[in-house]
Amino acid sequence: MTTGTELPPPGQLPEVHVDPSMLRQLAESQVNVELDTGDMILNLGPQHPATHGTLRLVVRLDGERVIAADPVIGYMHRGYEKLTEFRTYPQITTLINRIDWLSSFANEVPFISGAEMLMGIEAPPRAQYIRTALTELSRIATFLLFLGEMGLQVGAITPAFYGFRDREYVLNLIEGVTGGRFHPNFNRIGGLKDDLPWGWYSECRSTMAKVLASCDEFENLVVGNPIFEQRTRSIGIIPAELGAAYGVSGSNIRASGVDWDLRRDGKPYLPYNELDWKVWTHPDGDSFARYWVRLQETRESARMVLQLLQQMPAGPVMAKVPRIIKVPEGEVWVNTENPLGEMGYYIVSKGATGPFRVKIRSASFSNVSILPWMLRGVYVPDIITILASLYFILGDIDR
């Protein structure tokens, strides 16, 4: 060796005192290993890719089995309920765009309809139809991401590419109308900011054909895959009554066999009753059922968009609205079927230009609150598939 410091000559080596008992312990621990059977606490997140943001799960494990799980949320709490008290009604749509950022357009609709109800304004039919079409498009975009992502979580990477690719087509459609891919901010009290652009119908028709084709592809590639079935069948079962008592909504509860969809059963908010569509349910309630229901709902939404294009009425997209938006005194509760579940706003107005109190009921918050119950007794790899199949957005949990 030519580099480094030279060793001191023999006899001048520095003495190192080593405790002989420590050496013995070290040796014994290598040979005479006794298995530690105590519980282990594992921190999952807050930066795990399966959590779509910053959800942290503290899980207590016995070997590979979960004994208890405690979700820790609030890393992204932005205090929107407080902020709404300091904003005027038109300003608030900017905030609520960012609650569930995958389907921002669908977030705006219940708040705007609530304000319209209080003011006694009704959006013109064309605006209602465009709203319905864009809501369904954001549902398709949200679910396409899920259909790909869920494959990724069980170890299949191809569906993720398909999901992202097809979602891009749909986002282009939304961008064509609203100018924003993620945060359209397109709803106004009394209607919409703009009409549809030229050439949008044909673009939309061809994209819906692509979506329907890719749904078939997902059905062949993922649903029929034996590995996927083994990873998801009978895993993460939500019993219907318990799910309802926890407030689990949307596709998650329909996958448990509950035939309940606010588009059909709720207070009418958009012209869904003028369309020909059906509510999909699955009796099993496991992760597989949740995937299957969302797959069918993506198809159903694409068919709904095609019908909406055919029946689209002509006319203005904006009703006559006073320039200063003052909302009369009153209370209203509007809840809608968002892609992730029931999204609602309880608006209390005292006759000012801004609301007195807005309670934001977001879907993912209640969907995730069942996790401590669901995760008890499952294996560690199944945590990931359960999280992916519940499909939540952190902005929708933390608000």
> Would you tell me which residues interact with other proteins (CB under 8 A)?
73-74, 77, 79, 81-83, 85-88, 117-121, 240-242, 244-249, 253, 258, 260, 264-267, 320-324, 326, 328-333, 335, 342, 344, 346, 348, 350-354, 356-357, 359, 361, 365-366, 369-370, 373, 398
Nearer to other proteins, 100 or 166 (CB): 100
| Number of C-beta neighbours around residue 288 at 10 A | 24
- What gap in Å lies between CA 295 and CA 166, rounded to an integer? 14
The span from the CA of 152 to the CA of 215, in Å, is 16
Task: Name the minimum Å distance from CB 313 to other proteins.
Answer: 22
> What are the start-end ranges of the E strands in the chain?
40-44, 56-62, 65-72, 187-188, 191-192, 330-338, 341-349, 357-361
Q: How far apart are CA 124 and CA 149, in angstroms?
A: 38
Q: Is 360 helix (H, G, I), strand (E, B) or coil?
A: strand
| Min dist. Cβ of residue 346 to other proteins (A) | 7
At 197, phi and psi to the nearest 5?
-75, 165
Task: CB nearer to other proteins: give 339 or 355.
Answer: 355
Q: How far is the CB of 279 from other proteins (least distance, A)?
A: 12
Please identify, using beta-carbon distances, which residue of 261 and 286 lies nearer to other proteins.
Answer: 261
Q: Which residue lies nearer to other proteins by CB, 174 or 248?
A: 248
Q: Tell me how far, at minimum, the Cβ of 64 lies from other proteins, in Å.
A: 27
- Exposure of 219 in the CB half-sphere (CA atoms within 13 A): 14
- Beta carbon of residue 147, minimum distance to other proteins (angstroms, whole number): 25
Kindly tell me which of 160 and 242 has the beta carbon lying closer to other proteins: 242
In the complex with other proteins, which residue's Cβ is closer, 175 or 265? 265
Strands 357-361 and 40-44: unpaired
CA distance 381 to 392: 18
State in angstroms the smallest separation of the CB of 361 from other proteins: 5
